[in-house]
Structure 1
Amino acid sequence: MAAYFFASPIDVDIKLSDEEQRKQVEMKSEKEKTVSCPVYYDGDSVSGTVSIRVRDGKKLQHDGIKVEFVGSIELFYDRGHHHEFLSLSQELAAPGEMRQAQTYDFNFKNVEKQFESYQGINVKLRYFVRVSISRRMADVAKERDIWVHSFRLPADTNATIKMEVGIEDCLHIEFEYNKSKYHLKDVIVGKIYFLLVRIKIKHMELSIIRRETTGSPPNQYNESETITKFEIMDGAPVRGETIPIRLFLGGFDLTPTFRDINKKFSTRYYLNLVLIDEENRRYFKQQEITIVRIPEN
């Protein structure tokens, strides 16, 4: 990532400790480019070095150099207003002048990172290291993103989901999923029972829907996207028939469920069962599920 250049060209490079050994996540940056970010966890220290070089051998007069570790939420309809929920700062150099390249160490120890990184349709939650060089004319700043994963232990109680879809004297279906909380690599296992079928069903499909809610009323925005949709039955079922469901979550681009993060956004997941009859009428039932991230073996 390039530094911002002003009248006096300055190169700023931020190197994170042990970044090569960390898992990497691809993050979309400006203009649809992707940037590779190292993964950190809650309580991990964020440390590294900052190298500053003045081009052309000119001297750099500055009013101080600092490094910050920032967690912020950016709402796309509120551009320009970044809501910082975490801000730590360390001074690297007192006001003075620089004639040759300098390297500084920084270490933010055991940082609490209470939220997971997220990049959605209308919101982005990001963590980054920012180096600022204060100057009389114009400050120079450089940022370097990291990606944060948060683990949640599965709840002890994880009840099965049982629901019914019915149209009086025409259709009565019960469906059951093995549990209501899943981890990101889990398998959804379920069954659909046809107790009464007096309409001609053409096919049935199951989809996973992600719903992102940002802001608060009256400036609240909801965006839904279908993560996957697949047909689980083609043709008319008969009374007493049972259709098994097995859906592997590991192949999809899922995040954990986020509920009211810093009072700015939520991301929820739903299983949506749709029946379509021969006249293309649609009957559907939606059920929220919870998705968590657990430590990988």
Structure 2
Amino acid sequence: MAEMKTEDGKKERYFLYYDGESVSGKVNISLKKPGSRLEHQGVKIEFVGQIELYYDRGNHHEFTSLVKELARPGELTHNTSFEFEFNQVEKPYESYSGTNVRLRYFLRVTIVRRLSDITREMDLLVHTLSSYPEMNNSIKMEVGIEDCLHIEFEYNKSKYHLKDVIVGKIYFLLVRIKIKHMEIAIIKRETTGSGPNTFNENETIAKYEIMDGAPVRGESIPIRVFLAGYDLTPTMRDINKKFSVRYHLNLVLVDEEERRYFKQQEITLWRKGERLRRPLQQQLMAQQTISQKNQQSSFPQSHPQGQPPEFAPAMQSTGAEPPSPQQSQSPMHEEAPEQLPPAKPSPQAHTRHQHTTATPQPKPQLEPPDEDMSTPKLPSPPTEPPTSIDSPEEEFLEAQAGSPSDEEEPGEEEQERVKPSPGVSQEPVPVAQ
């Protein structure tokens, strides 16, 4: 919902739409008396965009018109509702209500009858959003009266959105007249018609005093105007070749004899999007993050042999490598997976690997007995350590070592045979095939 002034100057609230949005709703038809009948030649609804010139009210210039049939000719015997939808309606211009012209969008429902039609209208409000201008240069100009007054004014930008702030400065280069005060005003200029039938209407939107007293040479006066508190519209140029709306900054100096010196500078106003619309990729990333959190919360709290969730098997073995956590998710990622130090190989994992593969492993070389056996030695690291825990093969081996299946389970003799003694080196011992 948004507010807009009517012809009477009052503000009313309307449903707000943007260009390209669909317009949908429901039409409710109620009979005056229960049990009565209403014969009709059809029910239709129209989406209309038109321009009305107040000096030519007999002619309405329509630039958009869409029609949908709600009911065929027949008879209504009870209260009825009809749903409608206009998909992705093009709305090229913004709604506007000015001094001599009005641009409006409305829905019109018509019950066609033989003698007189029954018609109802409902106004809608349309805003056109713009993007940041590519070129937004500052305004700098030197003006004055020869040998009397020379000033230089500067504004930070030439294009402002409706909630922006105008920042500028006034420099006095030559002052030979007695200035009483200086003021700045925002003027809206509405132009309707064309050729000899052109009408201009100026309206002062805001005016305030920025300086009081006589300045001296070299003085600098700051300017700061907040636009959010004023009833402004975007700049409109040659709308459907019917009217234009432009805005000017008017700088006025008044001397002690009440003579006025002014300089006008046109500025461009545009409407900035009030609601954020994230790109599609960011929306997908947000949905993916939520799904990842749901998957992590669905893992059980307890795992076999105290393994973390990353090493818990996600599915039963079917002869193929199970997908890793990164393979089961969407390929869109921004952050790299956290690298953990490679886990130490377990003797049970080597034993398990020897039972599942058909190729025999070479026998490791035992250390000579004459070395000092008082200090137990740790098992040597593998020749090719895994670069990441994301490797499907290493993850599969760790998962098998953590949760052995019921189909193949080594006997107690084999487990005792590979169990390291506390006083000898913990090298893996070969198992008879």
Fold agreement, TM-score > 0.5: yes
Residue 204 of structure 1, CA deviation:
0.5
Q: Is the 8 A contact 1:27 1:37 kept in 2?
A: no
Percent of aligned pairs with the same amino acid = 65
Q: Distance in 1 between matches of 2:177 and 2:10?
A: 50
Structure 1 residues 210, 294: CA separation in 2 closer, same or farther (over 3 Å shift)? same
Q: Mapping of 1:1-297 within 5 angstroms?
A: 23-28=1-6, 34-57=11-34, 58-297=36-275
Aligned counterparts of 1:71 and 1:269: Cα–Cα separation in 2: 25
**Distance in 1, Cα, partners of 2:155 & 2:63:** 37
> Matches of 1:108 and 1:157 in 2, distance apart?
36
| Structure 1 residue 34, shift from structure 2 partner | 4.6
Give CA deviations for 1:246-290 in whole Å, capped at 9, x if unaligned: 000001000000000010110000000000111111111000000
**What CA distance in whole angstroms lies between the structure 1 residues aligned with 2:180 and 2:121?**
54
Letter in 2 for 1:227: I
Kept after mapping to 2: 8 A contact 1:25/1:39: no
Aligned-residue offset at 1:59:
1.0
- By how many angstroms is 1:32 displaced? 5.8
Q: CA deviation at 1:211?
A: 0.3
In 2 relative to 1, CA 167–34 (structure 1 residues): closer, same or farther, beyond 3 Å? closer
In the alignment, is the contact (CA less than 8 A) between 1:64 and 1:95 conserved in 2? Answer: yes
Instruction: Decide whether the 8 Å contact of 1:154 with 1:181 is kept in 2.
Output: no
For 1:218, what is the secondary structure of its paired residue? Answer: helix
Q: Indicate how the Cα distance of structure 1 residues 33 and 176 shifts in structure 2: closer, same or farther if over 3 A, else same.
A: closer
Q: CA separation in 2, counterparts of 1:169 and 1:220?
A: 38
RMSD value, Cα: 1.2
| CA displacement at 1:217 relative to structure 2 | 1.8
**Separation in 1 of the partners of 2:205 and 2:254?**
20
Once the two structures are overlaid, the 10-residue window that deviates more, 31-40 or 283-292, is: 31-40
- How far off is 1:24 after superposition? 2.4
Q: Distance in 2 between matches of 1:181 and 1:36?
A: 28
Please tell me whether the aligned partners of residues 46 and 108 of structure 2 are also in contact (alpha carbons under 8 angstroms): yes
Distance in 2 of aligned mates of 1:24 and 1:45 = 17
Greater fraction of residues in helix: 2
SS at the partner of 2:215? Answer: coil
| Residues 74-126 of structure 1: per-residue CA shift (max 9 Å, x gap) | 11111121111000000001111111111000000011111011111111111
What TM-score do you get using the length of structure 2 for normalisation? Answer: 0.62
C-alpha change, 1:34 and 1:62, in structure 2 (3 Å) is farther
Q: TM-score, normalised by structure 1?
A: 0.90
Please tell me the residue identity of whatever aligns with 1:187: V
Q: Which amino acid counterpart does residue 49 of structure 1 have in structure 2?
A: K
Number of residue-to-residue matches in the alignment: 274
Distance 2:271 2:93 in 1: 12
Distance 1:92 1:252 in 2: 42
User: Are 2:2 and 2:15, in contact at CA under 8 Å, matched by a contact in 1?
Assistant: yes
CA distance in 1, matches of 2:134, 2:72: 53
Q: In structure 2, what is the Cα distance between the partners aligned to 1:232 and 1:71?
A: 42
Indicate the structure (1 or 2) with the bigger Cα radius of gyration.
2
List runs of 5+ in structure 1 lacking aligned partners: 1-22
User: For 2:37 and 2:9, how far apart are their aligned partners in 1?
Assistant: 36
Q: Which has the higher contact order (CA 8 A, sep 6+)?
A: 1
Shift of 1:36: 1.8
